[in-house]
Amino acid sequence: MNRKENFTAGFIRENPVFSLYLGICSTLAITTTLNNAIGMGVAVIAVLIMSNVIISLIRNITPNEIRIPVYIVVIATLVKIIQMLIKAYAASLDTALGVFIPLIVVNCIILGRAESFASKNNVFDSALDGLGMGLGYTCSLIVMSVIRQVISTGVLNFTNPFDATQMIFEFRIIPEDYVISVFNQPFGAFVTFALLAAALAGYKNAKTAKAEKKKKAQEAAQAALAKEAK
């Protein structure tokens, strides 16, 4: 797999949320607003990149028997730093995300990439992998939050995470009389997740079937050419 394929894997083929089904608890819980989605996504991207870089740097000096505890300590330290920064500079975001910020420590995406990629690859490729997976996770959160927020409130807005009183943009898309408030509840989160996961699975299956059909056509053409050559 080249670097481009490695970077883009997190968007479709190995999307952490809709393909690998990782980090679903936080995804379902915090995707009620665009602010929450972007805030959590940025935090996860930062932790993914830094943890992948550090683990790649220490991979050759970390005893195999204790590698998982070492990875967890590295990740927990980084998450605590991110949490303190959010508390200091984005108090409203800290209140909205609550316990899900420290729970990044046990997010399977972080530890999974550390174990499956960063511990086996160089620093640059590990950082690229962290960025790609983090962006894939963030895009998943944004898509879910936009759908849920628009359907449940009819409005799509985004406020300055460093100043909750400053509205950056706000659009009413659905009239207030036609909103479906249940999409702001857990049921709406599960429905949205299921539909998006099914859509991505359908796209991947169609793409695979098309590739197989093309391969069979090429094999048939080669067989025909070989037959003519005889």
Mean pLDDT score, 27-51: 93
Quote the domain boundaries for residue 50.
3-190
Residue 111 within a domain: yes
Question: What's the pLDDT at 173?
Answer: 94
How far apart CA 48 and CA 63 sit, in angstroms, is: 22
Residue 153 within a domain: yes
Residue 223 within a domain: no
Residue 203 within a domain: no
CA angle 199, 205, 207 (to 5 degrees): 105
Confidence of residue 75 (pLDDT cuts 50, 70, 90): very high
Q: What is the pLDDT of residues 137-161, one digit of tens each?
A: 999 999 999 999 999 999 999 998 8
Instruction: Give me the percent of the chain exceeding a pLDDT of 70.
Output: 99
Residue 162 within a domain: yes
Tell me the two tokens of residue 163: 């100043």
Phi and psi for 158 in degrees, rounded to 5? -150, 125
pTM of the model: 0.90
Residue 195 within a domain: no
Residue 78 within a domain: yes
Could you give the number of structural domains in the chain? Answer: 1
Q: What is the pLDDT of residues 3-22, one digit of tens each?
A: 888 888 888 888 999 998 98
CA R_g for the chain = 21
Task: State which H helix or E strand residue 155 sits in.
Answer: strand 155-160
Choose between 126 and 162: higher pLDDT. Answer: 126
How far apart CA 123 and CA 105 sit, in angstroms, is: 21
Residue 196 within a domain: no
